[in-house]
Amino acid sequence: MTLMKSIAKDGLGTVSILVSTAGNKYKAWDGNRRVACLKLLNKPSLCPSPELRRRIEKLGEIYKDNIPKTVECHCCDIEEVLVREVLSRHSGARGGAGQVVWSSYLRTLFLLEHKQSSQYKRAGQYLYWSEGQGIEVEDEFPVSTLARFLKQNALLGLGFVVQDDKLKLVIEQEKAKHMASKVIADLASKALKVDDLRSINQGNDYIASVRFSVGLTEPAEVPAGFDAEDYSVNDDGGDDNYLESEKRSDDWGEDSNSDEPVNPTGTQQNPLGGTVDSAKPSGGDSRIGPRSGLRLKVFSFKGSGLVLPPEEKKVKDIVFELAKLKHSGKDGTPISVAFLLRALVELSTNNYLERYPEAMRKEDSSLRARVKACAEHMCITNAISKERLGAIISNCTNEGGLINITTLQKYLHNTERFPSGETLNALWDEISEYVIACW
C-alpha cells in the first residue's frame, strides 16, 4: 500500500522496470511489485481482499489523473547482465516506497533460480524443496546459520544426497518433510542458534535428535541405487566463484564478524611483557584474534587481554601455557587446555571475591555459583553488559558448559566426552570479558 500510494501520487520515479522479451510479451525481472501496483490501481477488482480493494479504489479516486496506463521499460535479453543489474538495484527500502533489501535467503533463491553460483547453495536448495512441500520459510530466514551445519552428513541425515549438483530425496517424503519443518522452525524461532552449531559434532548431535523425532534411530546411509556426489565435510555446498556482488562486506547484514574492542583507545600492559594495542582488532575481538573454530589456541601471547598484578605468578603461568598450547591439530592437547581454562576461571573468580566479598550473597560455594554471583555483581556495577551476563550464566547452568564440574569430570573419565577446539574457543569468546573484569 505504501508503494501503491507513492505511484498513484507521484508516478513511478526514475528507476525503470527491467524486462526481457518472451514471445509477444515482456517478462518483468525487476519491478514486480510496481507492476502489481499498476495492475491493481488500473483494475482494483483483481484484488481478492475486499478491505484492501476498497483502499485501492479510494486511491484511484483521489489520484485518478495521475495513475499511469502505460510504462516505459528497460529491456535486455542477456541473462548475465540482467542478474547483475537486479542484484545491484536492491539496496534500499525507504519504508516500503523503495526497492526491498533482499536477505541472504532471497538472494540465494534468485541466484539458484537463474543457475548462478551461490554462497549458500545446498541450504538454498534444501529450503526451496521445503517451500515446495508447503513449509513456510520467512524472507529473513537465517540461511547462513543453516549452511553452517548442512554438510554432507547432515544432508544425508535429513534424507538427501547430492546428485548432479542437486538434492535427491532418499527417504520417505513425509519423514523428510517433518524433519525440514522442525529444522526450519528451530532456526526461525532462534531455538537453535549459531552458538549451538559451532562444531561438526554439535551439528551431528542436532541432526540425530531431529531424526529421532521421526523414528529414525540408525545412522543414515546412502541407499543402494543412488550415486551420491562426495564433497568435503568442510564444504557447505556453496561455490567459491559466486558472483563478486555476493562477496561484499557485511554479508547482507547477517554473519558480520566485526566486534568492538573492549577498550577503543590506548594500550594495555600485557602480563607476559610488551603491550597490547586494544584499539586494533585482529580478525574479530581485539583480545582473542580470529573467531571460534578458526583458532588453534584459545588466545595468543598478546591476545588474552588480561592485565595481571606482578605477584600473581601462578595465574601468569596458566595464561602463558594457554597461550602456548594448541587444542587442535596434530599437536593439540584439548584436555589440558580445558583444565587450564577452568583453573583460570576459578582463580580469577577467587580474586574478584577477595576484592568484592559482598558479591557472594549465598552459601553455595560451587564454582558455578561463585561465577554467577560475580557476574551479576559486575553487571550491577556496569563492568559487563546484560547480554554478556546472560552468556556467562548460560555457561554456569547448562549441563554442557565447561564451568560445570560434572562436564569436566566426564571429559576426564568418559571416552565419549571430549572437548573440541571449537567448543573451547567458543567458551573463551563467551567468558573472556568476565575473566578480564575479574582482574
Of residues 191, 416, 202, 157, the one with CA closest to residue 292: 202
Domain membership of residue 251 (yes or no) is no
- Euclidean distance between CA atoms 423 and 295, whole angstroms: 11
The pTM assigned to this predicted structure is 0.43
DSSP 298: S
Q: Are 285 and 429 in contact (CB under 8 A)?
A: yes
Per-position DSSP letters for 146-215, written without gaps between them = HHHH--HHHHHHTTEEEETTEEEE-S-HHHHHHHHHHHHHHHHTTSS-GGGGSSHHHHHHHHHHHHHHTT
Q: Is the same domain home to 115 and 237?
A: yes
Cα radius of gyration rounded to whole Å, the chain: 27
Q: Is the same domain home to 227 and 317?
A: no
- Euclidean distance between CA atoms 424 and 403, whole angstroms: 11
- Euclidean distance between CA atoms 315 and 334, whole angstroms: 19
Q: Is the same domain home to 81 and 144?
A: no
Q: Is the same domain home to 53 and 118?
A: no
Domain membership of residue 248 (yes or no) is no
Q: Is the same domain home to 230 and 371?
A: no
- Euclidean distance between CA atoms 323 and 317, whole angstroms: 10
Helix then strand then coil, % of the chain, to nearest 5: 50, 5, 45
Q: Is the same domain home to 311 and 418?
A: yes
Of residues 163, 176, 197, the one with CA closest to residue 133: 176
Domain membership of residue 157 (yes or no) is yes
Domain membership of residue 368 (yes or no) is yes
pLDDT of residue 269: 35
- Euclidean distance between CA atoms 162 and 433, whole angstroms: 42
Give the chain's count of helices (H) and strands (E): 16, 7
Q: How many residues does the chain have?
A: 439
Domain boundary residue among 193, 211, 243? 243
Please name every residue paired with 280 in a beta bridge, in sequence order, or none if there are none.
none
Domain membership of residue 249 (yes or no) is no
Q: Is the same domain home to 311 and 428?
A: yes
Q: Is the same domain home to 275 and 408?
A: yes
Q: Is the same domain home to 308 and 176?
A: no
- SS3 at position 250: helix
What domain range is 335 assigned to? 267-438
Task: Classify strands 73-75 and 166-169 as parallel, antiparallel or unpaired.
Answer: unpaired
Q: Are 39 and 53 in contact (CB under 8 A)?
A: no
Domain membership of residue 261 (yes or no) is no
How many structural domains does the chain have?
Answer: 3
Q: Which residues contact 192 (CB under 8 A, 6 or more apart)?
A: 145, 183, 186, 206
- Euclidean distance between CA atoms 247 and 33, whole angstroms: 27
Q: Is the same domain home to 414 and 283?
A: yes
pLDDT of residue 366: 80
Q: Which residues contact 362 (CB under 8 A, 6 or more apart)?
A: 369, 373
Q: Is the same domain home to 123 and 215?
A: yes
Domain membership of residue 355 (yes or no) is yes
Domain boundary residue among 71, 96, 121? 96
Please name every residue paired with 267 in a beta bridge, in sequence order, or none if there are none.
277
pLDDT of residue 171: 93
Domain membership of residue 254 (yes or no) is no
Of residues 51, 43, 38, the one with CA closest to residue 8: 38
Q: Which pLDDT tens digits describe the chain residue by residue (439 residues)?
A: 989 999 999 888 878 899 998 778 888 999 999 999 999 999 999 999 888 999 999 999 999 888 988 888 999 999 888 888 888 777 555 566 666 677 888 888 888 888 888 888 999 999 999 999 999 898 889 998 898 888 768 899 999 999 888 999 999 999 999 999 999 999 988 888 888 777 777 888 888 889 988 888 888 888 887 776 754 433 445 544 444 333 332 233 333 332 223 333 333 333 333 333 333 333 333 333 444 445 788 887 666 788 888 788 899 889 989 988 888 877 888 889 988 998 999 999 999 999 888 888 777 778 888 888 899 999 898 888 888 888 787 777 665 565 666 666 666 666 666 777 877 887 888 888 889 999 9
Q: Is the same domain home to 76 and 207?
A: no
Helices 334-355, 367-380: crossing angle, 10 deg rounding: 50
